Structure 1
Amino acid sequence: MAKDVPLIILASLALLIFALMLFGWYSRKRRQAHIGLPVAPPAGLADTDLRFTGKYVATTVAGDQLNRINVHGLGFRGNCLLEVHPDGIVVSRAGSPDLWLARSEVRGVSRATWTIDRVVENNGLQVIEWNLDGTAVDSYFRMDDPEPCERALDGVVGNERQSQ
């Protein structure tokens, strides 16, 4: 029985840590409840050849790379497909509804080296800076072929490339 005490203590500690992580996740979602739903892509959107695959990394509050947006499924990483259209960008994420980033809501396109829980080579992340229902946010992507994607985003969105 005495040999089981350390095991019980470690298991209890692990359970406590997991419970605190879960509490923190749901607390963040409650604090971000004021952020509205992302817009779905418009119906009848024309096909485009400007399609780029990669990884969706995170969406954070603009300028705060450690403040992840957790609401509306934006808190989970996964594979993605960016479709660049003249009027905006469609972000298709595995397991989540598609997002429509209208050209009028996109504030800029830039590059970054890190964001919450992800560090890559210098300027290895592409950042789309946009407004989500009045809240300025930054979405981070790790694209499979970043240069053509960046040219398409710059060309359609009409923003100057910025380094971060």
Structure 2
Amino acid sequence: MLWTGVFAAFVLGTYLLMWRAWKKRGRRQAGLPAPADAPADLGTPLLPTLTGRYFGSTSAGNWLDRIVAHGLGTRSAVEATLTEKGLRVDRPAAAGFFIPAADLAGARFEKAAAGKVLPEGGLLVVTWTLGDTRIDTGLRSDHVADHDAWVDAVTRLAAGDAPALTGTKTGTNSITSTNQEGTQQ
């Protein structure tokens, strides 16, 4: 009985310390501005909505430095919509947010974000700027094959070359863009 009590006290103490560290990190990040709210008119979607998991946001390039301010560290299911105006992230477990197209820096494949490790290339990471802070946000689609189209579309949108959805081929989307001369790429 004594060992059970000691073990329960140890587990409770560990959770208490983790909770205090989470709150302390939130206070340290209190100067981070709140993410934007989505505009009433998002415009035309560039890709079908990504449904899957939101793994959290971290300081860019540091997959263990989770951003907890404004609920950005809360893991959740996600529905992400990419339009020419930016990226809307809707989460049932936390407040959704919007990343304006001007704040997007790009997207890439990773295997880890916010302390979560997945198979090589199993995570879609969107890099963006919030105030003066560069942030990596980790998403994983229910259909990992969609990640290629998302990386391409977000990268083009971040570069100011908004891709256009041209149709569907066997479940994946074909994305094209128009260069300055008006020809499709």
Give the TM-score, by structure 1 length. 0.86
Q: Which runs of 5+ in 2 are unaligned?
A: 161-185
Structure scoring higher RCO (CA < 8 A, sep ≥ 6) equals 1
- 1:74 aligned residue (68, 72, 76): 72
Structure 1 residues 69-111: Cα deviation after superposition (integer angstroms, max 9, x where no partner): 0111111111111111112111111232321111111112111
Question: 8 Å contact 2:63–2:115 — kept in the other structure?
Answer: no
Structure 1 residues 14-64: Cα deviation after superposition (integer angstroms, max 9, x where no partner): 111111111111111111111110101112223526222121111001111
Q: Which runs of 5+ in 1 are unaligned?
A: 160-164
Alignment partner, residue 124 of structure 1: 122
CA gap 1:35/1:137 in 2 versus in 1, 3 angstroms: same
Cα distance in 2 between the residues matched to 1:158 and 1:54: 25
Cα distance in 1 between the residues matched to 2:95 and 2:13: 33
Cα distance in 2 between the residues matched to 1:147 and 1:8: 51
Alignment partner, residue 133 of structure 1: 131
Query: 3-state DSSP class of the match of 2:89?
Result: strand
Cα distance in 2 between the residues matched to 1:98 and 1:58: 12
Alignment partner, residue 162 of structure 1: none
Structure 1 residues 126-163: Cα deviation after superposition (integer angstroms, max 9, x where no partner): 1111111221111011112322333332343338xxxx
Alignment partner, residue 31 of structure 2: 34
Q: What letter corresponds to residue 127 of structure 1 in structure 2?
A: V
Alignment partner, residue 154 of structure 1: 155
Cα distance in 2 between the residues matched to 1:141 and 1:116: 11
Question: 8 Å contact 1:59–1:140 — kept in the other structure?
Answer: yes
Say what the alpha-carbon RMSD is for the aligned residues.
Answer: 1.7
Identity %: 28
Number of aligned positions between the proteins: 156
Question: 8 Å contact 1:58–1:74 — kept in the other structure?
Answer: yes
Q: What letter corresponds to residue 150 of structure 1 in structure 2?
A: V
Cα distance in 2 between the residues matched to 1:95 and 1:116: 17
Query: 3-state DSSP class of the match of 1:109?
Result: strand
Give the TM-score, by structure 2 length. 0.77
Question: 8 Å contact 1:60–1:139 — kept in the other structure?
Answer: yes
